[in-house]
């Protein structure tokens, strides 16, 4: 039998702490928030809380419950703790309390101070171990403490994948199951799902721990620099076992994540573009694996960028590009994804395809002015005084036979038409061109 003790921090009030993305001063002195009130306004924003509550209560905990039942059937014991601050709006405290009544493996903890992501407060750990070993003779008590952020999900077999490493010889080690699925959350669904490999990722990172007969805990050491003491540097403080043979997590990227906000603030670009830049190197997820590993939410996961009604297909049949330029009439406003499907991945790697955009100003807005140019180029669109706006589809930075780019249309403009062309004027077979609005 293996004991597993999990911890989730649900919107903890930690202003000024170096242990959180949202409150850590980044290199160059960039702070995400200038005051505590600005931080609390973001932390407890209704849209942000509702999004994280939905992910936690409707996806993460039900999926965890599925995994717990599998673990119990194999003789393991699981306890999961959700910590939250007393300043959390009452409505969300009550929703957490109802969840604790529903799941017998779930316990709540009101945190008056900053709490560790890797390990629940030691008093709770001691209480958990006391309950598990109250009838046992004095001996070293082995357990694994695992991390689960409130907007991430663990696989149905997570505990089975982790259990072989929870041994006496690995006390003081951390364990990282680095293969998973990553996707972008919007409107209650996950889009652009990709198979991602991230050794030392925070999702499900576990610590192999023990309590000796005297009651002292042995846990993995931490890296001493608080500004860098996170999962990426876990092996600076303790040995890390990495195992990426099986899919173990589902990582959800969304607009209100602190890490996404830091980069979009620093780079002044759309959140979807930033989020996709973190996974565009990966292949589309295998939906059979998604269904097997994440049965609770598989129906909400898609490898596409949007729903059929959000997507326009420009080709009725495959198109062969050469030295000609092929025009299309469109009406695009706001951010959207342009995708080009090639016949093979090799063609996607070897062919340079560009899309020229006809940008029209609304109400006399100057499309060649500094504001407009800066807005478009922040999302990767190129600008030339003579030739206007264009996008070159990436080649080697993406995987598979589809290449895509995000275009963030300025609110005082629209794209009324586009032209597709081959940069090197070689014959290129294009199977489809799609435009998907990103509300």
Q: What is the pLDDT of residues 53-68, one digit of tens each?
A: 999 999 999 999 999 9
How many domains, in total, are found in the chain?
Answer: 2
**Own/partner pairs for 273-276, CB < 8 Å, 24+ apart?**
273/379, 273/380, 273/406, 273/408, 275/184, 276/184, 276/192, 276/404, 276/406
SS3 of the chain: helix, strand, coil, percent, to 5: 30, 30, 40
Residue 18 is predicted with a pLDDT of 54
Burial (CB < 10 A; 0-12, 13-18, 19+), residue 432, is middle
Q: Are residues 137 and 266 in the same domain?
A: yes
Residue 21 is predicted with a pLDDT of 54
- pLDDT: which is higher, 2 or 139: 2
Is residue 155 within 8 Å of 178, Cβ to Cβ? no
pLDDT at 336 over 60: yes
Q: Are residues 275 and 206 in the same domain?
A: yes
Q: How far apart are CA 16 and CA 5, in angstroms?
A: 28
Q: How far apart are CA 348 and CA 404, in angstroms?
A: 11
- pLDDT: which is higher, 105 or 425: 105
How big is the CA angle at 322 (ends 316 and 327), to the nearest 5 degrees? 50
Q: Percent of the chain having pLDDT more than 90?
A: 64
Nearest to 149 by CA among 243, 32, 259: 259
Position 116 confidence tier, pLDDT thresholds 50, 70, 90: confident
Position 24 confidence tier, pLDDT thresholds 50, 70, 90: very low
What is the 3-class SS of 272-339, one letter each residue?
HHHHHHCCCCCCECCHHHHHHHCCCCHHHECCCCCCHHHEEECCCCCEEECCCCEEEEEEECCEEEEE
Q: What are phi and psi of 93, to 5 degrees?
A: -60, -40
pLDDT at 176 over 70: yes
Position 269 confidence tier, pLDDT thresholds 50, 70, 90: low
Q: How far apart are CA 328 and CA 43, in angstroms?
A: 44
pLDDT in tens, 187-214: 899 999 999 999 999 999 999 999 998 8
Residue 153 is predicted with a pLDDT of 97
Last residue of a domain, one of 300, 326, 347: 300
Residue 93 is predicted with a pLDDT of 97
Q: Are residues 249 and 175 in the same domain?
A: yes
Q: Are residues 126 and 243 in the same domain?
A: yes
- Count of beta carbons in the 10 Å neighbourhood of residue 229: 19
- Complete DSSP assignment for 325-379: -EEEEEEE-SEEEEEEEESSHHHHHH--EEEEEEEEESTT--TTSHHHHHHHHHT
Q: Are residues 87 and 222 in the same domain?
A: yes
Q: Are residues 54 and 145 in the same domain?
A: yes
Last residue of a domain, one of 257, 273, 300: 300
pLDDT in tens, 215-267: 899 999 887 654 555 777 888 889 999 999 999 999 999 887 766 555 555 54
Q: How far apart are CA 327 and CA 396, in angstroms?
A: 26
Please tell me the least confidently modeled range out of 140-144, 171-175, 191-195: 140-144
Position 27 confidence tier, pLDDT thresholds 50, 70, 90: very low
Residue 331 is part of which domain span?
308-437
pLDDT at 70 over 50: yes
pLDDT in tens, 383-405: 999 999 999 987 677 888 899 99
pLDDT at 278 over 90: no
Q: Are residues 141 and 90 in the same domain?
A: yes
Q: How far apart are CA 85 and CA 88, in angstroms?
A: 6
Last residue of a domain, one of 255, 282, 300: 300
Please tell me the least confidently modeled range out of 20-24, 318-322, 327-331, 377-381: 20-24
Residue 229 is predicted with a pLDDT of 54
CATH number where 400 lies: 2.60.120
Q: Are residues 262 and 351 in the same domain?
A: no
pLDDT in tens, 346-379: 888 877 889 999 999 999 999 999 999 999 998 8
Q: Are residues 283 and 322 in the same domain?
A: no
Q: Buried (b) or exposed (e) across 336-374, using 16+ Cβ within 10 A?
A: bbbbbbbeeeeebeebbbbbbbbbeeeeeeebeeeebbe
Q: Are residues 296 and 318 in the same domain?
A: no
CATH number where 193 lies: 3.90.550
Q: Are residues 262 and 141 in the same domain?
A: yes
Q: Are residues 286 and 356 in the same domain?
A: no
């Amino acid at each position: 039998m293996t004991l597993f003790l999990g911890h989730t921090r649900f919107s903890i009030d930690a202003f000024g702490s170096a242990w959180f993305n949202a409150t850590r001063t980044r290199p160059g002195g960039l702070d995400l928030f200038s005051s505590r009130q600005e931080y609390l306004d973001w932390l407890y924003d209704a849209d942000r809380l509702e999004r994280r509550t939905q992910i936690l209560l409707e996806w993460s905990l039900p999926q965890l419950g599925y995994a717990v039942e599998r673990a119990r059937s194999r003789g393991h014991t699981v306890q999961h703790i959700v910590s939250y601050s007393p300043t959390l709006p009452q409505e969300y405290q009550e929703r957490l309390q109802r969840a604790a009544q529903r799941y017998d493996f779930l316990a709540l903890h009101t945190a008056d101070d900053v709490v560790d992501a890797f390990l629940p407060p030691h008093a709770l750990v001691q209480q958990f171990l006391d309950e598990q070993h109250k009838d046992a003779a004095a001996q070293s008590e082995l357990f694994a403490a695992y991390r689960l952020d409130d907007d991430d999900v663990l696989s149905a077999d997570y505990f089975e994948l982790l259990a072989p490493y929870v041994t006496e010889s690995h006390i003081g080690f951390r364990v990282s199951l680095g293969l998973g699925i990553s996707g972008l959350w919007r409107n209650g669904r996950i889009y652009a799902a990709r198979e991602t490999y991230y050794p030392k990722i925070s999702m499900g990172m576990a610590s192999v721990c023990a309590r000796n007969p005297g009651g002292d805990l042995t846990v993995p050491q931490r890296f001493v620099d608080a500004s860098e003491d996170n999962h990426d540097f876990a092996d600076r403080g303790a040995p890390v076992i990495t195992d990426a043979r099986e899919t173990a997590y589902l990582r959800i990227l969304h607009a209100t994540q602190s890490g996404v906000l830091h980069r979009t603030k620093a780079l002044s670009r759309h959140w979807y573009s930033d989020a996709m830049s973190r996974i565009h190197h990966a292949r589309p997820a295998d939906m059979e694996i998604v269904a097997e590993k994440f049965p609770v939410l598989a129906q909400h996961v898609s490898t596409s960028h949007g729903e059929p009604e959000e997507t326009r297909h420009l080709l009725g049949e495959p198109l062969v590009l050469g030295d000609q330029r092929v025009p299309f009439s469109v009406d695009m406003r706001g951010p959207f994804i342009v995708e080009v499907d090639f016949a093979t991945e090799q063609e996607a790697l070897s062919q340079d395809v560009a899309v020229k955009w006809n940008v029209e100003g609304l109400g006399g807005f100057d499309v060649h002015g500094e504001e407009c140019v800066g807005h478009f180029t922040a999302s990767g669109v190129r600008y030339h005084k003579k030739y206007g706006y264009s996008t070159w589809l990436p080649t080697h930075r993406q995987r598979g036979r589809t290449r895509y780019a995000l275009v963030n249309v300025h609110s005082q403009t629209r794209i009324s038409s586009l032209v597709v062309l081959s940069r090197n004027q070689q014959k290129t077979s294009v199977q489809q061109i799609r435009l998907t609005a990103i509300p």
